[in-house]
């Protein structure tokens, strides 16, 4: 290639690059209809499991236009979680902060230690428990469903103090409503499976 041709081609390439970059910069960006806003969440002491388990909401679905929410969970030693179940629409991501979470996924059991993550996509049977002698604390993250509302209702509203004692018809009726609303599905043997786990690992 002659020197003059090389100069012309190099100049053309450079010009195209300049035009491309300026076009990108000049292209107007269409604003979102409901833009997200920055949110600062101040630090708080670790959540107390209160001898069993408890939850605390950090990010609400309403803060993210329904895209995401997150909840801190604390579980006492040797405490079982809910019966094995699946979600029709919810994808769930766990990050363990303290202790070790035992998780049933399908027919397999995995352990997630502090610093580990576990993704549970929709339509997969699962549950969790704390089989250790130490406290378990983790962040649960939910996508495309305000599942924090379900948990707040279960943990903080449907209580004996509020007229919903365990095993009562009123509490069972409300829980069934929540299961239907949030798409939780339990197999006919879910509660028997839960009891088997409780017995096997010495849980309460």
H, E, C per residue of the chain: CCHHHHHHHHHHHHHHHHHHHHHHHHCCCCCCCCCCCCCCCCCCCCCCCCCCEEEEEEECHHHHCCCEEEEEEEECCCEECCCCEEECCCEEEEEEEECEEEEEECCEEEEEECCCEEEECCCCCEEEEECCCCCEEEEEEEECCCHHHHHHHHHHHCCHHHCCCCCCHHHHHHHHHHHHHHCEECCCCHHHHHHHHHHHHCCC
- Summarize the confidence of residues 179-190 as an average pLDDT: 96
pLDDT at 19 over 90: no
- Residue 161 within a domain: yes
pLDDT given at position 7: 47
Q: Is residue 12 part of a domain?
A: no
pLDDT at residue 167, rounded to an integer: 93
> Does residue 104 form part of some domain?
yes
Question: Tokens 């010009």 sit at which residue?
Answer: 15
Q: Does 15 reside within a domain?
A: no
62: in domain: yes
What is the three-class DSSP state of 125? coil
- Please report, for residues 4, 7, 16, 19, the alpha-carbon distance to residue 1 in angstroms, rounded to integers and kept in the order given: 8, 10, 21, 26
Provide the pLDDT for residue 33. 75
Does residue 154 form part of some domain? yes
Model pTM greater than 0.75? yes
Residue 47 lies in a domain: no
* Residue 5's pLDDT band (cuts 50, 70, 90): low
Residue listed under structure tokens 């002491």 = 45
Domain, as residue range, for 77: 53-201
Report yes or no on 27 lying in a domain.
no
Q: For residue 8, what are its two tokens? A: 């012309």
Per the structure, how many domains does the chain have? 1
Confidence of residue 27 (pLDDT cuts 50, 70, 90): low
Q: What is the pLDDT of residues 60-108, one digit of tens each?
A: 999 999 999 999 999 999 999 999 999 999 999 999 999 999 999 999 9
Q: What is the CATH number of the domain that holds 76?
A: 2.60.120.10
């Amino acid at each position: 290639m002659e020197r003059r041709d090389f100069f012309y081609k190099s100049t053309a390439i450079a010009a195209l690059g300049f035009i491309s970059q300026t076009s990108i910069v000049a292209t107007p960006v269409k604003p979102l209809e409901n833009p997200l806003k920055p949110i600062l969440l101040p630090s708080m002491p670790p959540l107390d499991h209160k001898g069993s388990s408890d939850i605390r909401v950090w990010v609400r679905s309403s803060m993210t236009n329904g895209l995401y929410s997150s909840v801190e969970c604390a579980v006492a030693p040797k405490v079982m979680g809910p019966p094995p179940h699946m979600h029709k629409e919810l994808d769930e991501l766990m990050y363990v902060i303290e202790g070790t979470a035992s998780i049933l996924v399908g027919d397999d059991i995995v352990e997630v230690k502090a610093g580990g993550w576990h993704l549970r996509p929709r339509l997969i049977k699962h549950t969790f428990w704390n089989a250790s002698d130490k406290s378990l604390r983790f962040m649960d993250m939910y996508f495309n469903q305000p599942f924090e509302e379900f948990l707040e209702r279960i943990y903080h509203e449907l209580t004996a103090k509020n007229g919903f004692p365990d095993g009562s018809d009123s509490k069972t009726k409300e829980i069934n409503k929540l299961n239907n609303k949030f798409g939780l599905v339990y197999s006919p043997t879910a509660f028997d499976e839960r009891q088997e786990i409780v017995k096997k690992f010495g849980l309460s």
